[in-house]
Amino acid sequence: MSNSLKGRVAVVTGAARGIGQAIVRGLAAQGASIVGIDLLNCDDTAAIAAQHGADFISQIADLTDENAVGAAMDKVVEHFGRCDILINCAGILPRMEWDELDLASWNRLITVNATSQFITCKAAIPIMRKNSYGRIINFTAAIVQTPATGFISYMASKMAVIGLTRGLATEMGAHGITVNAVSPSFVTTPGQVEVGNDSIQPFVTQQQAIKRDQVPDDIVGLITFLASDAASFITAQTIHADGGLTYH
């Protein structure tokens, strides 16, 4: 089977920059049409997609708002008539020690990193089921397998994503929809730099078997494979692209 995505329509959350933007580039190179959903403007990502001749549109939406996500998915159907691939890339990674962690901060992490992926899946799956075809790729993180301090709520949110992935894969297998999760190491992105998390990178890199910083492009090949027909019998899995940070 081919890894080509020609004729497929993909929705990528967090598409404005960082990992999401790199994924759009990879999907475009494989021939997909793409919808980028983000709170930020996706003009730079649109220019990248255009370089590959891809049909790209963007939607500004709060992924924690069920109505906003539903409206964005309506636009996907209006423009392309279908949704074949959903990649849940958007997320946040604030660092907060236990004594600083309050309920509001906890709820924000769970909502942005886990509940948002549930919301997008709920919006996309009815469209996929009409064609008995779908590829859903969620993002968890290798940190859930490592002893790191200051990330309790983040770890909880990313473990929730694994549970969502496994349960949803079981429910959707009969409908031709696969559901998998991707687990990267620490990837320095503009968002990480803004909150000062880039200082963590050297420590994490030294723990990896591959001792170089992970960059967004390191994940793209895995994403395009899982989104393709070549991955039709892979579902309910958490696949680690973390440079050997964790063993499984």
Write the pLDDT tens digit of every residue in 38-86.
999 999 999 999 999 999 999 999 999 999 999 999 999 999 999 999 9
Question: 26 is in which domain, residue-wise?
Answer: 9-185+216-241
Residue 150: inside a domain: yes
Range 173-181 average pLDDT:
98
Domain count for the chain, please give it. Answer: 1
Residue 49: inside a domain: yes
CA distance 116 to 146: 24
In the predicted structure, residue 124 carries a pLDDT above the cut 70:
yes
- CATH at 97: 3.40.50.720
Phi, psi (5° rounding) for residue 96? Answer: -150, 120
Asked if 154 is an active-site residue, the reply is yes
Segment holding 87, helix H or strand E: strand 85-88
Over residues 139-152, the pLDDT tens digits come to: 999 999 988 888 99
**Angle of the 18-29 helix axis to the 43-51 helix axis, nearest 10:** 20
Which of 154, 161, 191, 242 is labelled catalytic?
154
What percent of the chain has pLDDT above 90? Answer: 87
Over residues 95-119, the pLDDT tens digits come to: 899 999 999 999 999 999 999 999 9
Residue 84 Rama label (left phi>0; alpha psi -120 to 50; beta): alpha
